[in-house]
Structure 1
Amino acid sequence: MAETAYVGIVQAIRRRIASGSLRPGDRVPSTREITREWGVAMATATKVLTTLCQEGLVVARQGIGTVVAGPVAGPVEVAVRSARSGVEVTRDLVVRTAIAIADNEGSGALSMRRIATDLGVATMSLYRHVSSKDELLLRMVDTVFADNPFPADPPPGWRAGLEVAARLLWTMFRQHPWAAAALSLTRPRATRRTLAYGEAVLRVLAGTGLDEYRMFQVYVAVFGYVRGIAVGLEWDAADEQETGITAEQHFLEQDATFADVTASGAYPTFVRVVETSDFDMDLDEQFEFGLRHLLDGFAASLLALRLR
Structure 2
Amino acid sequence: MHVEYSGTGDPARSLALLWRTRERTSRGGDLGVDRIVRAAIDVADTDGLAALSMRRVAERLGVGTMSLYTHVPGKGELLDLMLDTVHGETPRPADVPGGWRGRLERIARDNWALYLRHRWLLQVATTRPPLGPHVTARYDYELRAIEGIGLTDLEMDAVITLVDSYVHGAVRGAVEAAQATARTGLTDEQWWQAHAPYLEKVMDPARFPTAARVGATAGQEYQAATDPTRAFDFGLARVLDGIATLVADRCAG
Length-normalised TM-score, structure 2: 0.74
1:96 corresponds to 2:41: no
**Contact map agreement 1:162 1:201 (CA 8 A) in 2:** yes
Q: Report the equivalent of 2:249.
A: 304
Q: Report the equivalent of 1:62.
A: none
Question: Cα 1:271–1:157, aligned 2, differ >3 Å: closer, same or farther?
Answer: same
Question: Cα 1:127–1:243, aligned 2, differ >3 Å: closer, same or farther?
Answer: farther
Deviation digits for residues 209-253 of structure 1 (CA, Å, limit 9, x no counterpart): 111121111111111111111234555555554444444445455
Q: Report the equivalent of 1:294.
A: 239
1:219 corresponds to 2:164: no
**Contact map agreement 1:150 1:168 (CA 8 A) in 2:** no
1:67-216 to 2 correspondence within 5 Å? 88-155=30-97, 157-184=99-126, 186-216=127-157
**Contact map agreement 1:146 1:193 (CA 8 A) in 2:** yes
Q: Which amino acid aligns with 1:216?
A: D
Percent sequence identity over aligned pairs: 39
Partner-residue secondary structure (3-state), 1:138: helix
Deviation digits for residues 106-131 of structure 1 (CA, Å, limit 9, x no counterpart): 22232222222222212222222322
Residues of 1 paired with 2:243 and 2:150: CA distance?
A: 12
Residues of 2 paired with 1:180 and 1:212: CA distance?
A: 27
Partner-residue secondary structure (3-state), 1:151: coil
1:282 corresponds to 2:223: no
**Contact map agreement 2:37 2:81 (CA 8 A) in 1:** yes
Which of 276-285 and 121-130 deviates more?
A: 276-285
Question: Cα 1:307–1:256, aligned 2, differ >3 Å: closer, same or farther?
Answer: same
Residues of 2 paired with 1:301 and 1:267: CA distance?
A: 37
**Contact map agreement 1:180 1:227 (CA 8 A) in 2:** yes
Which of 169, 193, 210 does residue 269 from structure 1 map onto?
Answer: 210
Q: Which runs of 5+ in 1 are unaligned?
A: 1-85
Residues of 2 paired with 1:131 and 1:177: CA distance?
A: 25
Report the count of equivalent residues.
222
RMSD: 2.8
Residues of 2 paired with 1:109 and 1:97: CA distance?
A: 13
Q: Which runs of 5+ in 2 are unaligned?
A: 1-27
Q: Which amino acid aligns with 2:169?
A: G
Question: Cα 1:126–1:267, aligned 2, differ >3 Å: closer, same or farther?
Answer: farther
Residues of 1 paired with 2:215 and 2:48: CA distance?
A: 32
Residues of 2 paired with 1:238 and 1:135: CA distance?
A: 29
Q: Which amino acid aligns with 1:200?
A: Y
Residues of 1 paired with 2:234 and 2:206: CA distance?
A: 30
Higher-RCO chain (CA-CA 8 Å, sequence separation at least 6): 2
